[in-house]
Structure 1
Amino acid sequence: MTADTLLHRLNPILRGWCAYFRPGMSSATFNHLASFVWRQVWAWLRRKHRRNTWKELRRRYCGGGWWPTSDEGRLLHAGTITTTRYRYRGAAIPTPWQATT
Protein backbone atom coordinates (compact mmCIF):
# COMPACT_ATOMS: atom_id res chain seq x y z
CA MET A 1 0.00 0.00 0.00
CA THR A 2 1.31 3.46 -0.79
CA ALA A 3 1.25 6.39 1.59
CA ASP A 4 -1.33 8.13 -0.63
CA THR A 5 -3.66 5.14 -0.30
CA LEU A 6 -3.15 4.94 3.45
CA LEU A 7 -3.96 8.62 4.00
CA HIS A 8 -6.87 8.42 1.55
CA ARG A 9 -8.37 5.55 3.59
CA LEU A 10 -7.52 6.93 7.01
CA ASN A 11 -8.80 10.51 6.64
CA PRO A 12 -12.53 9.70 6.15
CA ILE A 13 -12.45 7.40 9.18
CA LEU A 14 -10.85 10.09 11.34
CA ARG A 15 -13.17 12.79 10.01
CA GLY A 16 -16.25 10.65 10.74
CA TRP A 17 -15.06 9.75 14.24
CA CYS A 18 -14.37 13.40 15.05
CA ALA A 19 -17.73 14.52 13.64
CA TYR A 20 -19.57 11.92 15.71
CA PHE A 21 -17.80 12.64 19.01
CA ARG A 22 -17.37 16.40 18.55
CA PRO A 23 -20.34 17.46 20.74
CA GLY A 24 -19.35 15.44 23.79
CA MET A 25 -15.58 15.00 23.81
CA SER A 26 -12.85 17.26 25.10
CA SER A 27 -10.10 18.73 22.98
CA ALA A 28 -7.56 16.77 25.05
CA THR A 29 -9.08 13.54 23.71
CA PHE A 30 -8.78 14.81 20.14
CA ASN A 31 -5.14 15.77 20.78
CA HIS A 32 -4.51 12.28 22.15
CA LEU A 33 -6.13 10.77 19.04
CA ALA A 34 -3.96 12.94 16.77
CA SER A 35 -0.84 11.87 18.65
CA PHE A 36 -1.81 8.19 18.49
CA VAL A 37 -2.55 8.29 14.76
CA TRP A 38 0.69 10.17 14.08
CA ARG A 39 2.71 7.52 15.94
CA GLN A 40 0.96 4.69 14.11
CA VAL A 41 1.52 6.23 10.67
CA TRP A 42 5.18 6.87 11.47
CA ALA A 43 5.59 3.30 12.72
CA TRP A 44 4.11 2.10 9.42
CA LEU A 45 6.52 4.30 7.45
CA ARG A 46 9.48 3.08 9.49
CA ARG A 47 8.50 -0.56 8.88
CA LYS A 48 8.06 0.13 5.18
CA HIS A 49 11.44 1.88 4.80
CA ARG A 50 13.75 0.27 7.36
CA ARG A 51 16.99 1.64 5.92
CA ASN A 52 15.93 5.27 5.63
CA THR A 53 16.61 7.83 8.34
CA TRP A 54 14.05 10.12 9.95
CA LYS A 55 15.37 12.99 7.88
CA GLU A 56 14.88 11.13 4.61
CA LEU A 57 11.38 10.01 5.59
CA ARG A 58 10.40 13.52 6.63
CA ARG A 59 11.66 14.92 3.36
CA ARG A 60 9.85 12.26 1.34
CA TYR A 61 6.53 11.97 3.18
CA CYS A 62 6.13 15.26 5.05
CA GLY A 63 7.69 17.90 2.82
CA GLY A 64 10.34 18.59 5.47
CA GLY A 65 7.81 19.02 8.29
CA TRP A 66 6.55 16.48 10.78
CA TRP A 67 2.95 15.85 9.71
CA PRO A 68 2.47 13.20 6.97
CA THR A 69 1.29 14.57 3.63
CA SER A 70 0.70 13.10 0.21
CA ASP A 71 -0.12 14.34 -3.25
CA GLU A 72 -3.83 14.17 -2.43
CA GLY A 73 -3.67 15.89 0.96
CA ARG A 74 -2.53 15.74 4.56
CA LEU A 75 -3.29 13.38 7.39
CA LEU A 76 -6.21 14.83 9.35
CA HIS A 77 -5.00 16.42 12.57
CA ALA A 78 -7.78 15.68 15.04
CA GLY A 79 -6.34 18.15 17.55
CA THR A 80 -7.30 21.10 15.35
CA ILE A 81 -11.00 20.21 15.36
CA THR A 82 -12.97 22.32 17.81
CA THR A 83 -15.39 20.68 20.20
CA THR A 84 -18.88 21.91 21.02
CA ARG A 85 -19.81 21.33 24.64
CA TYR A 86 -23.12 22.12 26.31
CA ARG A 87 -25.06 22.95 23.21
CA TYR A 88 -28.39 23.44 25.00
CA ARG A 89 -28.45 25.35 28.27
CA GLY A 90 -31.07 26.73 30.59
CA ALA A 91 -34.41 27.54 28.99
CA ALA A 92 -33.08 26.46 25.61
CA ILE A 93 -33.51 22.81 26.63
CA PRO A 94 -36.64 21.53 24.89
CA THR A 95 -39.26 20.16 27.30
CA PRO A 96 -41.75 17.43 26.38
CA TRP A 97 -44.42 18.88 28.71
CA GLN A 98 -46.65 21.82 27.98
CA ALA A 99 -46.41 24.85 30.21
CA THR A 100 -49.44 25.39 32.49
CA THR A 101 -50.98 28.83 32.62
Structure 2
Amino acid sequence: MTGRTSQQQDLATVLIRLTQIMRGWANYFEHAVVKHAFDGLDAFVWWRLIRNVRTRHRWSRGDVRRRFTAPTRRWRPLAADGIELFRIASVTVSRYRYRAGTIPDPWQPANPA
Protein backbone atom coordinates (compact mmCIF):
# COMPACT_ATOMS: atom_id res chain seq x y z
CA MET A 1 0.00 0.00 0.00
CA THR A 2 2.98 2.31 0.41
CA GLY A 3 4.97 1.09 -2.56
CA ARG A 4 5.41 2.43 -6.06
CA THR A 5 1.70 2.30 -6.84
CA SER A 6 0.79 4.66 -4.01
CA GLN A 7 3.80 6.96 -4.29
CA GLN A 8 1.83 9.68 -6.06
CA GLN A 9 -1.42 9.26 -4.11
CA ASP A 10 -2.51 11.79 -1.58
CA LEU A 11 -1.54 10.89 2.01
CA ALA A 12 -5.18 11.14 3.13
CA THR A 13 -6.21 8.56 0.52
CA VAL A 14 -3.45 6.20 1.62
CA LEU A 15 -4.43 6.65 5.29
CA ILE A 16 -8.08 5.89 4.55
CA ARG A 17 -7.23 2.67 2.71
CA LEU A 18 -4.68 1.54 5.32
CA THR A 19 -7.19 2.20 8.09
CA GLN A 20 -9.79 0.08 6.31
CA ILE A 21 -7.35 -2.79 5.83
CA MET A 22 -5.96 -2.71 9.36
CA ARG A 23 -9.40 -2.45 10.99
CA GLY A 24 -10.46 -5.51 9.02
CA TRP A 25 -7.40 -7.44 10.17
CA ALA A 26 -7.96 -6.31 13.76
CA ASN A 27 -11.60 -7.44 13.72
CA TYR A 28 -10.68 -10.81 12.22
CA PHE A 29 -7.69 -11.60 14.45
CA GLU A 30 -8.72 -9.98 17.74
CA HIS A 31 -9.55 -13.37 19.29
CA ALA A 32 -6.11 -14.88 18.59
CA VAL A 33 -2.67 -14.48 20.11
CA VAL A 34 -1.61 -11.53 17.96
CA LYS A 35 -0.63 -8.69 20.29
CA HIS A 36 3.05 -9.03 19.38
CA ALA A 37 2.19 -9.23 15.68
CA PHE A 38 -0.02 -6.12 15.95
CA ASP A 39 2.87 -4.22 17.55
CA GLY A 40 5.20 -5.23 14.74
CA LEU A 41 2.65 -4.41 12.05
CA ASP A 42 2.00 -1.02 13.63
CA ALA A 43 5.70 -0.15 13.60
CA PHE A 44 6.12 -1.44 10.04
CA VAL A 45 3.22 0.62 8.66
CA TRP A 46 4.38 3.74 10.51
CA TRP A 47 7.93 3.50 9.15
CA ARG A 48 6.74 2.80 5.60
CA LEU A 49 4.51 5.88 5.70
CA ILE A 50 7.34 7.99 7.08
CA ARG A 51 9.59 6.72 4.29
CA ASN A 52 6.90 7.52 1.75
CA VAL A 53 6.49 11.07 3.09
CA ARG A 54 10.27 11.60 3.19
CA THR A 55 10.62 10.47 -0.41
CA ARG A 56 7.68 12.48 -1.66
CA HIS A 57 8.65 15.75 0.03
CA ARG A 58 12.41 15.20 0.03
CA TRP A 59 12.57 15.66 3.78
CA SER A 60 15.48 14.75 6.01
CA ARG A 61 15.12 12.98 9.33
CA GLY A 62 15.21 16.34 11.06
CA ASP A 63 12.34 17.60 8.94
CA VAL A 64 10.26 14.55 9.86
CA ARG A 65 11.06 14.96 13.55
CA ARG A 66 10.23 18.67 13.42
CA ARG A 67 6.91 18.02 11.67
CA PHE A 68 5.69 15.00 13.64
CA THR A 69 6.77 15.73 17.22
CA ALA A 70 5.04 17.87 19.82
CA PRO A 71 6.89 20.44 21.97
CA THR A 72 7.04 17.75 24.67
CA ARG A 73 9.19 15.69 22.22
CA ARG A 74 6.50 13.01 21.89
CA TRP A 75 5.52 11.74 18.46
CA ARG A 76 2.26 13.03 17.06
CA PRO A 77 0.01 10.62 15.19
CA LEU A 78 0.37 10.59 11.43
CA ALA A 79 -2.58 12.52 10.02
CA ALA A 80 -3.63 14.31 6.87
CA ASP A 81 -6.79 16.35 6.31
CA GLY A 82 -8.18 15.25 9.67
CA ILE A 83 -7.66 11.55 8.91
CA GLU A 84 -5.41 9.84 11.42
CA LEU A 85 -3.46 6.60 10.99
CA PHE A 86 -5.22 3.75 12.79
CA ARG A 87 -2.92 2.26 15.43
CA ILE A 88 -3.57 -1.47 15.25
CA ALA A 89 -1.43 -1.99 18.37
CA SER A 90 -4.14 -0.22 20.40
CA VAL A 91 -6.71 -2.96 19.67
CA THR A 92 -7.67 -4.99 22.73
CA VAL A 93 -7.01 -8.67 22.11
CA SER A 94 -9.49 -10.83 24.03
CA ARG A 95 -8.86 -14.53 24.09
CA TYR A 96 -10.80 -17.34 25.74
CA ARG A 97 -14.23 -15.82 25.88
CA TYR A 98 -16.45 -17.34 28.54
CA ARG A 99 -18.89 -19.90 27.06
CA ALA A 100 -19.61 -22.33 29.87
CA GLY A 101 -23.37 -22.51 29.26
CA THR A 102 -23.04 -23.25 25.55
CA ILE A 103 -20.53 -26.12 25.71
CA PRO A 104 -22.37 -29.46 25.69
CA ASP A 105 -21.47 -31.96 28.40
CA PRO A 106 -20.62 -35.34 26.82
CA TRP A 107 -21.40 -37.30 30.02
CA GLN A 108 -24.97 -36.10 30.45
CA PRO A 109 -27.72 -38.01 28.66
CA ALA A 110 -29.26 -36.13 25.77
CA ASN A 111 -32.86 -36.73 26.96
CA PRO A 112 -33.00 -37.19 30.74
CA ALA A 113 -36.02 -39.21 31.71
- Shorter-chain TM-score bucket reads 0.7 to 0.9
* Aligned: 1:11 with 2:19: yes
Q: Mapping of 1:1-101 within 5 angstroms?
A: 1-50=9-58, 52-58=59-65, 60=67, 62=68, 64=70, 65-88=75-98, 91-92=100-101, 94-95=103-104, 99-100=108-109, 101=112
Identity rate, percent: 31
- Consecutive unaligned residues of structure 1, counting only runs of 5 or more, are none
Rg (Cα) greater in structure: 2
Task: List, as ranges, runs of 4+ consecutive aligned residues in structure 1 with deviation greater than 4 Å.
Answer: none
Aligned partners of 1:8, 1:63: CA distance in 2, in Å?
A: 22
- State the shift of 1:42 in Å: 1.1
- Consecutive unaligned residues of structure 2, counting only runs of 5 or more, are 1-8
Local SS of the residue matching 1:24 = coil
Q: How many residues align?
A: 98
Contact 1:38 1:67 in 2 (8 A): no
Query: What TM-score comes out, normalization by structure 2 length?
Result: 0.70
